[in-house]
Structure 1
């Protein structure tokens, strides 16, 4: 049955990909058609009435009449949706709300409808078609996939609409999706409803280890793939024992009813257990590449901060190619990757209407934009999107680089968020988050700082946050551990994703490093020496550059004790 589904899906994605490639040869027409079709379908919504969308007849009118909007402009409309009002941002019923922490620390809720989900499914098929073709060229094939992303719904609004991460809505939309899922994924869908990430990884690994011919490992971000590999190595002996006996480890944090449902689907496999035990005995460890020697691809996000984690991949995955899948967020889908081991994604020209703000316009209140056919290779742009989620000229804050073109369609790579982001896993802490947290604890402790920068530790994964501070000459922090605990607490209040990962111990507790006097003056001079004009130099308060503070003297390092 699995092979039949694979054959059908491969055939479908091949056709979808071919149709998409045809569209890349006529980008201007495809973009215009997408926009005008959307405006016609959505012209009677409350948002459309406010901005008079029904009067817009072409692309230029749209760009001239509709302002560039951030989430704050949509928030009053979303609040009405959460209370059960219909036809607000979308004419179709809202079946899910994607939750995103947002750059200001306040969660964003993005409407999802069956129509918007269908469009996401289509661009997923395009990416799958490209990956299947690339894998085939390497003499391998598609097959069963292991992915441990949680599908647990975070909650429901007062009117009953479920909300959570974008992945949490996928399997809850229809029975057909679940049926396909069961044929293609190594673990049962119930395994992804386990809240505790270590337990969820363990259960998913247990099911996946039954199949020596697993082909794909998927992870939203590279650090999560490394965490999965680390769990495989850490629990290898116990996993093999469970596999042999057909039982789940008693220590797993899982609700009794859910445990019972999962246990009914797990059976002993002594032959496979013996095979894995021999690998463990001869190699002294169990890695993904040793467990699944025909692994075809690791599918995970590329661009941004991924390269740092990719440096650690060979130890676990050897030279297994990496495929970026789709470039997407809670708000929109921006592109489909088209080859293995490449960061570029082809702009998703039939999934949204896109505009690009060039660097020279970033400080303007209502900047001039470029269309997809007007951008240049090598240029950096803020990207805007209009889509079936009910967003118009939406500024997500992503900065992308155009690295080339696929036919006429731009190939884009996510570089960073406006102002930068810090992610040890996928929590997306912004500079705003840490500035507000530090401001709060400075006021509470009456301990002004000369300067500070939050970085990530080098030799751990997930890495821990390092709060690097320089104190004014002659001053001190009376209770450094309490100071650090308050920073951690403040950051959790500001960033819901950071809070979730700290509460579930995905993210280790932060450390406080008190640097010697003059440290940040040294860093500032380093940046100037790199050629950054003094008038343009804005000292970063967050940085994923592990070398930014290299060589600075650390007078004291403080970690949280067990009581925190």
Structure 2
């Protein structure tokens, strides 16, 4: 039955994808039609009346009369929605409030309605259609998925509206579909304890021969899953053999009883995995399953983590799924190992702010049909969550077009910039540099974060790194010299200001486990595990306070040394 359901789901997704592709031949018309329909639907909401949406008939009128907005413009209205008031931002009832991660700022609540959920599900189906097509083209048979995202809510508002991470909301609101595609019971996502949730999901997936896909919101979470598999291999194999679920796991008693009723011994599979463990010395996803693909976020900081994927996942292709946030679904990926996503032209209205307008209070925007490949833009969205010309702060690069629809890739957050003077170094800049350095020095980093020194004016760049277990850096002086050199090579503003204005960077090698400590700090701040993103640059001078520095190395300044970099 499960195989039949998977085949039916793939067939439906292919049909939805085909419909979307037809729309990409008429992207401008699709955008115009979406906006007109939304304005008509929302014009009698309280916010819609304040904006005068009923009188807006064209895209130009919309851009002229509706100001670009940020979360602070919506917060008072969302507070009222949380208390149970209706017809505020949307005419439809709010059934969930999506809590943003807060990794790069204050956490926000975004209204989810039945209609906005359907549009997001549509983008998901488009993505699934592209997955099915790519899997067929690359001869990678689809099967069950291992996913360890939590179902835990954060709570309910005073009026009873549930709120929590967007991933938990998506899973709960689409549970019928997910129950058919998971390699583990849906209840396996319910444990509050992270280790318990990962363990039981791994256990059931190891016992299911149809497991072919691993999903993770972010690449760092896929690596964490691989670490759990390696660390608890003996326990997992034991439970496979005996039909037990480890007694030491922190599982709620009623939930444990439910899961145990679904779990049976599988001694043959246990023997197979024990042989792999004995032969290879560890258990990894690539050795445990015959994987067809991984689904995880691409763009942004992802490539840094992808450097470590081959050791755990071999050459398994990576599909980006959706380029999405709590506020909106921005696009669908369309092939394996591609960073670009096709703009979701029929589920949101999008505008783009060119780079020369980023620091203007009400900047001029261009439309999806007007963007230029290789250019970066801030992206604005108007959608059925009740957001109008909403500036999420994402900076995207246009890679090209899929028919008439832009292909975009997330590069960094606008606020995610670091400046010793005024050079505006982005996360994308430092990600490129650190990738080069890992290859150049044959070193693997557990993680890194660039901060600024506290006492110096102007401050030094502090390149804080933690080496992966078993990895060595014999020549840290050369490493920080090359950091400086590579950053100048790719970042013109840094290169111009570095010789005379920006002091030399310093390398700090942190003690093992430092980023695990940082991870716990971020979780304690209330950031949901499934949405946890490590910032790789931070203006917070205390962000890494208290972590042990094993070694600090400073570039020795040499007069005119910068010139030899060019």
Cα distance in structure 2, aligned partners of 1:387 and 1:489:
33
Q: Could you say which residue in structure 1 is the equivalent of 2:79?
A: 79
Q: What is the aligned counterpart of 2:206 among 209, 215, 232?
A: 209
* TM-score, normalisation: structure 2: 0.79
1:341 equivalenced with 2:337 (yes/no): yes
Q: 1:11 to 1:514 in 2, by over 3 A?
A: closer
Is the 1:345–1:412 contact (alpha carbons within 8 Å) kept by the matching residues of 2? yes
Deviation sequence 1:431-466 (CA, Å, 0-9, x none): 9xx89xx9xxx8xxxx888736575534249x9xxx
Q: 1:522 to 1:306 in 2, by over 3 A?
A: farther
Q: How do residues 234-253 of structure 1 correspond to structure 2 at under 5 angstroms?
A: 234-253=231-250
Q: 1:273 to 1:456 in 2, by over 3 A?
A: farther
Q: Could you say which residue in structure 1 is the equivalent of 2:138?
A: 138
Cα distance in structure 2, aligned partners of 1:199 and 1:291:
20
Deviation sequence 1:369-388 (CA, Å, 0-9, x none): 00000001100000000001
Q: How do residues 179-198 of structure 1 correspond to structure 2 at under 5 angstroms?
A: 179-198=176-195
User: Tell me, which stretches of 5 or more residues in structure 1 are unaligned?
Assistant: 469-480, 532-564
Q: Could you say which residue in structure 2 is the equivalent of 1:350?
A: 346
Q: Could you say which residue in structure 1 is the equivalent of 2:489?
A: none
Q: Could you say which residue in structure 1 is the equivalent of 2:112?
A: 112
Is the 1:151–1:168 contact (alpha carbons within 8 Å) kept by the matching residues of 2? yes
Cα distance in structure 2, aligned partners of 1:455 and 1:39:
48
Cα distance in structure 1, aligned partners of 2:349 and 2:561:
41
Q: 1:148 to 1:492 in 2, by over 3 A?
A: closer
Q: Could you say which residue in structure 2 is the equivalent of 1:328?
A: 324
Is the 2:196–2:250 contact (alpha carbons within 8 Å) kept by the matching residues of 1? yes
TM-aligned CA deviation for residue 207 of structure 1: 0.4
Cα distance in structure 2, aligned partners of 1:364 and 1:529:
37
SS at structure 2 position matched to 1:404: strand
Count of residues in correspondence between the two structures: 489
Q: Could you say which residue in structure 2 is the equivalent of 1:155?
A: 155
Is the 1:101–1:495 contact (alpha carbons within 8 Å) kept by the matching residues of 2? no
SS at structure 2 position matched to 1:355: strand
TM-aligned CA deviation for residue 318 of structure 1: 0.8
Q: Could you say which residue in structure 1 is the equivalent of 2:286?
A: 289
Cα distance in structure 1, aligned partners of 2:520 and 2:205:
39
Q: What is the aligned counterpart of 1:226 among 218, 223, 243?
A: 223
Q: What is the aligned counterpart of 2:274 among 274, 277, 282?
A: 277
Is the 1:248–1:263 contact (alpha carbons within 8 Å) kept by the matching residues of 2? yes
Is the 2:342–2:407 contact (alpha carbons within 8 Å) kept by the matching residues of 1? yes
Q: 1:112 to 1:125 in 2, by over 3 A?
A: same
Q: How do residues 522-537 of structure 1 correspond to structure 2 at under 5 angstroms?
A: none
Q: 1:207 to 1:499 in 2, by over 3 A?
A: closer
Cα distance in structure 2, aligned partners of 1:508 and 1:283:
36
TM-aligned CA deviation for residue 419 of structure 1: 2.7
Cα distance in structure 2, aligned partners of 1:9 and 1:331:
26
Q: Could you say which residue in structure 2 is the equivalent of 1:511?
A: 547
Q: Could you say which residue in structure 1 is the equivalent of 2:89?
A: 89
Cα distance in structure 1, aligned partners of 2:120 and 2:383:
11
1:497 equivalenced with 2:527 (yes/no): yes
TM-aligned CA deviation for residue 180 of structure 1: 2.6
SS at structure 1 position matched to 2:172: coil
Cα distance in structure 1, aligned partners of 2:276 and 2:127:
34
Cα distance in structure 1, aligned partners of 2:227 and 2:522:
26
TM-aligned CA deviation for residue 85 of structure 1: 0.5
Cα distance in structure 1, aligned partners of 2:189 and 2:546:
28
Cα distance in structure 1, aligned partners of 2:107 and 2:144:
34
- Considering only aligned residues, what root-mean-square deviation do their CA atoms show, in Å? 3.6
TM-aligned CA deviation for residue 184 of structure 1: 1.0
Q: Could you say which residue in structure 1 is the equivalent of 2:299?
A: 303
Q: 1:93 to 1:460 in 2, by over 3 A?
A: farther
Cα distance in structure 2, aligned partners of 1:333 and 1:299:
16
Q: 1:206 to 1:514 in 2, by over 3 A?
A: closer
Q: Could you say which residue in structure 2 is the equivalent of 1:451?
A: 459
Q: 1:6 to 1:515 in 2, by over 3 A?
A: closer
Q: Could you say which residue in structure 2 is the equivalent of 1:553?
A: none
Q: 1:61 to 1:221 in 2, by over 3 A?
A: same
Cα distance in structure 2, aligned partners of 1:334 and 1:412:
9
Q: Could you say which residue in structure 2 is the equivalent of 1:8?
A: 8
* TM-score, normalisation: structure 1: 0.79
Cα distance in structure 1, aligned partners of 2:132 and 2:299:
21
TM-aligned CA deviation for residue 140 of structure 1: 2.2
Cα distance in structure 1, aligned partners of 2:13 and 2:364:
37
Q: Could you say which residue in structure 2 is the equivalent of 1:318?
A: 314
Cα distance in structure 2, aligned partners of 1:213 and 1:385:
39
